[in-house]
Amino acid sequence: MIDLTKPVVSHTGVFMKNWLIAVSLAALATLFWAVIGFAVTEVRYSKVESQIANSARMIAENTAKTTLIGHFHRDSFYEAVMQNDNDFTNHYLMEMLASNMHIKGVAVFFNDEVFASAGEKFEIAVTPTVEGGDYSEIFSVGKDLFAISAFTNNAGSESSKDGYVILKLDLEGILSLLTTEGYSLNSEKGSLLLAGVSVSLERRWLPANYAAIAFVFLLTFAFTATIQRMTGKKFLVRRNREMSLLLEKIPTLIWCFRDQETFGIVNESFAKFFGRHPEEIDGKNVFEILTEQEAIECVESNKEVFRSKRETCF
């Protein structure tokens, strides 16, 4: 006889295993999506970073060329420096700064000394060699950009061997026109801007990115749990069918009680022994199936089994 008060199989271990599998698969899917997301974000930022660097370089070069050629290749300025006219030179530099928003400072050197300056002050230990009267080059000192050129008359036929002009370019002002993202200027990483200065954008994830990660985790977890639940149900149905078939076909008499006086399921051999079908016994009182004396003895033995809740021999 089978005591139904005891659980035959505990599903706690199976449930925990399925739960861990669902969580693990959801975590792997989320990690995979996060890696793809980071890779896509890096590609996007790198492309934008390169576009910003190229645009900033073009603006810096055009600003330097336009300013140097337009303001310092004139007879009036050349003659003012040659005649040591500081008032005119300083006034000219102030007007030049007022019309050029991307220049932070300017200094005119003559005979290796500062002849005139305007705007932000700066010092440069070593300056490139200036050749010819046209725009020469842009060079960097740390994170700052400078442009250097000789100054000449209108025709470019006269120039001072020891005279040149240096402009300090407003690189941060140029970058602020191109992006509102956070960035850093360095010489080690990022997209090369000009003359050893690179720009690197700050990589940031929006709240929508984190929400997408959470959604992927929840969706994968729910899908995996649903599949496991459906698979588990199919397994239980198949197992119950197999067990039922086994119980029905073996010749041994098998039965169980729901309580001391009520039959539970019985196999076909047990039912045939009493000349009945299994469904005619399931749920019936023992006094309906057995003789009165047999039923009394059966109830008494059942009471001992249900009380002790252990295997009992009679």
Residue 17's pLDDT band (boundaries 50, 70, 90)?
low
Residue 121's pLDDT band (boundaries 50, 70, 90)?
very high
Give 72's contacts (C-beta < 8 A, 6+ positions apart): 149, 151, 152, 165
Query: What is d(CA 257, CA 284) in angstroms, rounded to the nearest whole number?
Result: 10
Question: What's the number of CA atoms in the CB half-sphere (13 Å) around residue 258?
Answer: 11
Enumerate the β-bridge partners of residue 116.
108
Residues 48-70 have pLDDT tens digits of 999 999 999 999 999 998 898 88
pLDDT of residue 69: 86
Higher-pLDDT residue of 104 and 225 is 104
* Residue that is written with structure tokens 């119980």 in the block: 247
| Through-space distance between the first and last CA atoms of the chain, rounded to whole angstroms | 11
Higher-pLDDT residue of 165 and 314 is 165
pTM of the model: 0.59
Average pLDDT, the chain: 81
pLDDT of residue 19: 72
Q: Which CB contacts under 8 angstroms, 24+ apart, belong to 88-97?
A: 89/115, 89/116, 90/116, 90/118, 93/117, 93/118, 93/119, 94/118, 96/67, 96/71
Q: Alpha helices of the chain — where are they, by DSSP H?
A: 12-72, 75-82, 86-98, 171-178, 207-249, 268-273, 278-281, 286-289, 292-308
Residues 276-299 have pLDDT tens digits of 888 888 889 989 888 888 888 888
pLDDT at 161 over 70: yes
pLDDT of residue 162: 79
Task: Note whether 138 and 169 are within 8 A (CB).
Answer: yes
pLDDT of residue 95: 92
Task: Note whether 77 and 151 are within 8 A (CB).
Answer: yes
Look at residue 107 and give its three-state secondary structure.
strand
